[in-house]
Structure 1
Amino acid sequence: MTTRQNIGTHIFYTPFGKILALKENGVIKAKSIRYARSERYKMPVALESVESYEIADKTPVCPQHITPLLERLIGKTDIEKFQPDESPQFLTITRSEKFNENEKLPVVVWIHGGSYEIGCGDLPTSDPTFWVKEQNIIIVSISYRLGLFGFLGGDENRLPNLGLFDIIESLKWVKKNIQSFGGNKENITLLGQSSGGDAIAHLMISEGVENFFQRAIIQSAPLGFRLKRSRMSLEFFRKTELLKDETDPLKMTESYAGFLPSFRKYGLKTSMPFCTQYGYPPLCKEEESLPKWKENAKKYDVLIGLNNDETAFYVKTAKEGLYTYLHEKILNKIVRKTTESIYEKPANIFAQNYKEGGGNIYQFKIHSKLKNNYIGASHCVDLPLIFENESAWKNSELLKDVPWNHIQENGGKLRALWAEFARSGKISDDSERPEILELRKV
């Protein structure tokens, strides 16, 4: 079936059932496939098969509170295109239309960021079309429970780490079904940015993930926020008890923000109120985490890194408060100190510990090479490089002083390196590097 817009359909026959996909812009997309279901605060239940599958008009998302800061950073969200769903366990598979039936393509599973609080796998700003066509890989974009629904718990009635369990269910689904889409189930790389990268690091030490993936690309994970959170999490858990039976999930997401100012006593980590919780399944105790990563180091190839000026957008573009009146040199010092404490030093500790465990690990850093770019290489600047979609990013304040051809030139080279790592777990010294990238094997 073909229309004047050159949009067609394709059917995949899988162990899960018959799945209808769209053919457009040189790729085939099987959108919003439900991989599990869940009730509020309960474990996800895998779907074993589907009798009939139709392409949804709207993208399902976990109920969430979109902030003005996020809309300045990324761009305005067209909420009419999304459907809130308290059971948001969906995934989308993107593959090139050009495909040799004898091929088994490397698979990259995209785990979105958003402080475990906002976002979904299927956003225009993370459209993998360019990358899939360029590098002939398959990308699976997953959605999972967030915020109160997925990353805050403390007892048997409100379980912690449910979002992590959702991700594990999605990986089981991929392992079982991806061959039907042309993917190699023995060559799966997890790619995550921000809290998505943090989730991947914790999946590496989670129970019940054996052989679900072989590699990990961890971008801008705020590993500095992972420690000494238990008191804050417990207080947040208790204060939100009165919201747990609210029938309207959107009211829940609007209400919890009122408690956040009272957590300022816990320092910078207050800016990320939701997180994985140690000491509850599928995770170990906090003090066991570094030894666990060392113990598991030979299981996964890892590429981990950050942007040089991670916190610059938040610090330098604040519209009100103290930062507005500070001299640029002071602001630069704040950016450097916070970037080091939240991202850089924890990534260095992670990498060194992993190397000591005998692991294959690379480290990277993305810099800004543009003279007039006030905020430099801030948090999220890696996203348009990986997911090149000019129409989605054109209104982002993050890229205000960045020419699009700069994103295109550096992004193409970065995507090639990341795809090389996904294929083999290695990056050759002879492979071309973008000028903005610092990369080394640990």
Structure 2
Amino acid sequence: MVASPRHVEVQTASGMLRGSVEGDQARFRGVRYARAARFANPEPEAPWEGVRDALAEGPMCPQPPFGLALLALPKPALPMGEDCLFLNIAAPAERSGDPLPVMVWIHGGAYVNGSGGGLIYEPSRLVSEGSAIVVGINYRLGVFGYVPLEGVAEANLGVRDQLAALQWVHDNIAAFGGDPEQVTLFGQSAGADSIVELLAVPEADELFSRVILQSPPLGLNKGREAIAAQLGANVLASLGEIDPREASIEQLLAAQVAASVGLTGDRLTVGMPYAPTPGVWPIAPAAERTDRLKRRAAGLEVLIGYARDDFSPFLDAVPALRRARASAVLRPVTEPISAELTRRVFGAPALALARLLSESGARVYTYRFDWRPKGTPWGACHCIELPFFWADEEFWRGSPMLGGVLWDDLEALSIPVRQQWLSFARRGIPAGDWPVYSPAERIGRHFRFEPRYGG
């Protein structure tokens, strides 16, 4: 690296990138890892001459408004655009000693929302505390990345984007001080689900060796071939005479939303209809998935878990349940429903995967996030662990799911949790006394905290 007081330059395989020096970190934002025309496969970026700025985040994939309002109060969002195949890199500004472990974040958002950066996924705490390099990736979502459109688009373009991003990291991260042989994929919700899919993709085998899976909704992986076909037909029907290749972004997003109405299939799965389709490259056919996961397990290191009340916020989609959960008197009536759906969608499938991988040769650690902040109806809900790793006080101030916990208190709780994740990224073993998964002790670590914090 060649540093100046404000900028730092790195020579990648394709050309020179200019990033910024911010305190003790070097930041490279809006790094293009591929290009793709609408409904086309991603193609590697061609080499360039001179120095290319990597000072501002690239646009995120076009998407409808984010629906999980409990996460945080409204915050500025990144611009949107179809040309969205960018990643962000945060690394220590000073390099010394051995190459650093690399953590690649795959964001969640039900395959229709989110990005690999923005205010919510601010990585500075992980980088500073762990001497690690953190990479966040954008990929195509919804109708742009996951819907088969007859004669127009194949399914799983978003997965192909993820593969292209991981290949770029493998080929270039050494220039930023990272170790391409020590890459940990970590993700939450649909991001964790994506990583499970990548475990069954042979083309990804050499691109990572550790995974952290936070609340993957594996219980929703049912009948997706039929749902994908319905989505594609519904999108085309919604567009009518409009060619999807010529439609505006707004028309495609409206068709995406309309297409999810009236789907048939597993009642829970159709609640997250956009997702990878089995049997379309690079995703394994459903009949081969288990065998592929067993094959990948040897030498793999896995950290997998979920939140005690993961499903609770999704009950709010049912008006009667939302009203009941808003009432301290009626809320206990809804808790068995939340517990059972959490078990079906998140808990039982995660532990079944832990057992499968462990018995097939992986070293596996499991957890459950049990912290229930005071003053919220959702408990240890979906996304509750995100502020323990990402962003800062400005972003999370007023977050409904945090129930008014003081930032200093939350930060005191967060530091040891981050150290667990960082230790796993460095050594494949979480810090502290955390037993390896066994059928007798299925959940190796419960994250609980002192009463004054709730939980």
TM-score, L = length of structure 1: 0.91
- Quick check: 1:196 aligned with 2:195? no
How far did 1:312 drift? 1.8
Residue identity opposite 1:97 in structure 2:
A
Partners of 1:146 and 1:196 in 2: CA distance: 12
- Quick check: 1:338 aligned with 2:341? yes
* Number of equivalent positions: 427
Deviation digits for residues 59-115 of structure 1, max 9, x if unmatched?
A: 411010013x33442331424xx3322131101110122331x33000000110000
- Show the counterpart of 1:290: 290
How far did 1:57 drift? 4.9
How far did 1:229 drift? 2.0
- Quick check: 1:231 aligned with 2:226? yes
Q: Are the counterparts in 2 of residues 308 and 365 from structure 1 also a CA contact under 8 Å? A: yes
Deviation digits for residues 362-399 of structure 1, max 9, x if unmatched?
A: 11111115454432111111110111411111132222
- Show the counterpart of 2:29: 31
Deviation digits for residues 178-230 of structure 1, max 9, x if unmatched?
A: 11100011100001110000000110111311311110001011001112222
Structure 1: runs of 5 or more not aligned? 1-5, 438-442
- Show the counterpart of 2:448: 436
Deviation digits for residues 210-266 of structure 1, max 9, x if unmatched?
A: 311110001011001112222222111111125423431133113321232312664
Which secondary structure does the structure 1 equivalent of 2:120 belong to? helix
Q: Are the counterparts in 2 of residues 304 and 363 from structure 1 also a CA contact under 8 Å? A: yes
- Show the counterpart of 1:17: 15
- Quick check: 1:255 aligned with 2:255? yes
How far did 1:434 drift? 8.5
Q: Are the counterparts in 2 of residues 413 and 434 from structure 1 also a CA contact under 8 Å? A: no
Identity %: 28
Quickly say closer, same or farther: Cα 1:418–1:404, change in 2 above 3 A: same
- Show the counterpart of 1:41: 39
Quickly say closer, same or farther: Cα 1:368–1:66, change in 2 above 3 A: same
Residue pairs, 1:11-410, within 5 angstroms: 11-51=9-49, 52-55=51-54, 57=56, 59-67=58-66, 69-79=67-77, 82-100=78-96, 102-153=97-148, 155=150, 157-242=152-237, 243=239, 244-263=244-263, 266-315=266-315, 320-325=319-324, 327-368=330-371, 370-410=373-413
Q: Are the counterparts in 2 of residues 232 and 266 from structure 1 also a CA contact under 8 Å? A: no
How far did 1:322 drift? 4.2
Residue identity opposite 2:384 in structure 1:
V
Quickly say closer, same or farther: Cα 1:58–1:89, change in 2 above 3 A: closer
Residue identity opposite 2:256 in structure 1:
Y
Partners of 2:81 and 2:225 in 1: CA distance: 28
Which secondary structure does the structure 2 equivalent of 1:84 belong to? coil
Q: Are the counterparts in 2 of residues 59 and 122 from structure 1 also a CA contact under 8 Å? A: no
Partners of 1:156 and 1:25 in 2: CA distance: 51
Residue identity opposite 1:12 in structure 2:
V
Residue identity opposite 2:86 in structure 1:
F
Partners of 1:54 and 1:250 in 2: CA distance: 30
How far did 1:279 drift? 0.8
Which secondary structure does the structure 1 equivalent of 2:405 belong to? coil
- Show the counterpart of 1:3: none
Q: Are the counterparts in 2 of residues 386 and 415 from structure 1 also a CA contact under 8 Å? A: yes
Partners of 1:295 and 1:431 in 2: CA distance: 26
Quickly say closer, same or farther: Cα 1:271–1:167, change in 2 above 3 A: same
Q: Are the counterparts in 2 of residues 194 and 222 from structure 1 also a CA contact under 8 Å? A: yes
Q: Which runs of 4+ in 1 moved over 6 A?
A: 431-434
- Show the counterpart of 1:440: none
Q: Are the counterparts in 2 of residues 323 and 331 from structure 1 also a CA contact under 8 Å? A: no
How far did 1:332 drift? 0.8
Structure 2: runs of 5 or more not aligned? 436-444, 450-455
Partners of 1:424 and 1:193 in 2: CA distance: 21
Aligned CA RMSD, in angstroms, stands at 2.3
Partners of 2:287 and 2:25 in 1: CA distance: 45
